[in-house]
Amino acid sequence: MGDRIVTWPNALSAARLLGVPVFLWLVLGPRTATSDLIAAGILGLAGITDWLDGKLARMLNQQSRLGALLDPAADRLYIAATVIALAVRGIMPWWLFGAIAGRELIVGVALLVLQRRTVYGALQVSFVGKTATLCLMYAFPLLFLGAHSGTTAEVVRVLGWAFAIWGIALYWWAAMLYLTQVRDLVRESGMEGAATS
């Protein structure tokens, strides 16, 4: 991991973060078919850049500590903003909001434990976690577009729910993997501390 700040992957993650307030305004402000379509497009772009920034980081050898923090932060912020906005609009049920918020709370507490008890600042992002995020990034715009009337909207809504169910399952699986990582790192750190004392 390098200390570089200005990299292509970091630029993509920053652009993704800048899209969050624009998305929220489009969903909760105008509430027109056009604004909904643009908001769904922003979500789609967020999903693509989420995959692309990791790919570029590896391909260009531009992995950085900032990127390791920025990428998952952008993912979580997008997911939180989207879930809240869609729940407020009545497009997504509150139980789905609870399932995602509960997972974020558990992982957040685990990260606090990790930072307080070890020298590690961030967890290794898993393939399962990235796949879960990608599924949810597809689910949200599909559910969003499926909220309108018509046969096409109904088909899109079914696809959206398929991605949402897979995404939630994988999201919780990734949480279990992160909790296992935290447990192992805390245990390892405790053993190292005992060995040096």
Under the banding of pLDDT at 50, 70 and 90, the label for residue 97 is confident
Q: How far apart are CA 130 and CA 5, in angstroms?
A: 22
Least confident of 47-51, 123-127, 136-140, 169-173: 123-127
pLDDT tens by residue, 26-36:
999 998 888 98
Q: Which long-range contacts (CB under 8 A, 24 or more apart) does 89-98 make?
A: 89/27, 89/28, 89/31, 89/147, 91/143, 91/144, 91/147, 92/143, 96/164, 96/168
pLDDT tens by residue, 108-129:
888 888 888 877 666 777 889 8
Please determine, for residue 83, whether its predicted confidence score (pLDDT) is greater than 70. Answer: yes
